[in-house]
Amino acid sequence: MDLHLKDKVALVTGGGRGVGRGVCMRLAEEGAKVIVNDFHERRAERVAGEIRDLGGSALAVQADITNLAQVRAMVAKAAETWAPVEILVNNAGIPTREPGDESTGGGWEDFSATQPETWARMIDLNVYGTMNCTHSVLPGMIERRSGKIVSVMSEAGRMGEAKLAAYSAGKAAMLGFSKAIARELGKHCINVNVVALGAVDAKEVVFAELDEKAQARLSAIFKSYPIARGLQRLSRASDIADAIAFLASDRAAYITGQVLGLSGGFAMQ
């Protein structure tokens, strides 16, 4: 299916790794001109380089999306380089860490044990980051009466997740915000949708190649994801990128204000 994304200008936040990278690569494969945003410049440059090496068009832009001035400058740079942003993918977020993992990331603590500064990081990036980017691209979209906005949330925002209260709150806010502006922007032919993720396997492990202990651990996780039991895997960046590419295309012209669960049946709503 041709998604007719050739030469469309797409901005993907948090595009330097994981799901964001997958989305950037998929949109570029469809012919879009991709602005790869990341807080870490090296990550953004690496993904943009990958796209260019494959013959695509990409521009790496380092920006902190919680800083409105930086976001405005990034959107202006896109317009100066190519054209106003036509597709916005609000993907940037703080990943949750696994229980017992002391690396950077958020979550897996009872709310009573958390501190306000950790709430602020979650809310600033997920809520204000999404609002900053959306607000910055809307003037051009409204003027052209065309645009696609897809935001990436977690099923934790729809269902709530114990020990991830602030994370769940930030993701839930993205959904409420998206539904509200979808109602406002329909008159301008701008589509606003959300995809909700469950566990994502960044390493794309092959179940049959794992040792017995790892298989048992993964099988326990599969119990929460109906389709994972059959496919013997969790979701991958490519699964998410394919859905986002569709929602970013005119093939989804009559879809707005919706949340699409990409969690293998973890949540069924």
Helix, coil or strand: residue 29? helix
Which conformational region is residue 58 in: left (phi greater than 0), alpha (psi within -120 to 50 degrees), or beta?
beta
Alpha helices in the chain (DSSP H): 18-29, 41-53, 68-81, 116-123, 129-144, 155-159, 165-185, 212-222, 226-231, 237-247
Nearest to 181 by CA among 157, 148, 143, 140: 148
**Other Cβ atoms within 10 Å of 60 Cβ, number:** 23
Q: Which residue in this structure is represented by tokens 């469809």?
A: 30
- Point out the residues that are catalytic: 167
Q: Which helix (H) or strand (E) holds 60?
A: strand 57-62
Cα four-point dihedral sign 64, 66, 70, 73: positive
Complete DSSP assignment for 238-264:
HHHHHHHHHHTSGGGTT--S-EEEEST
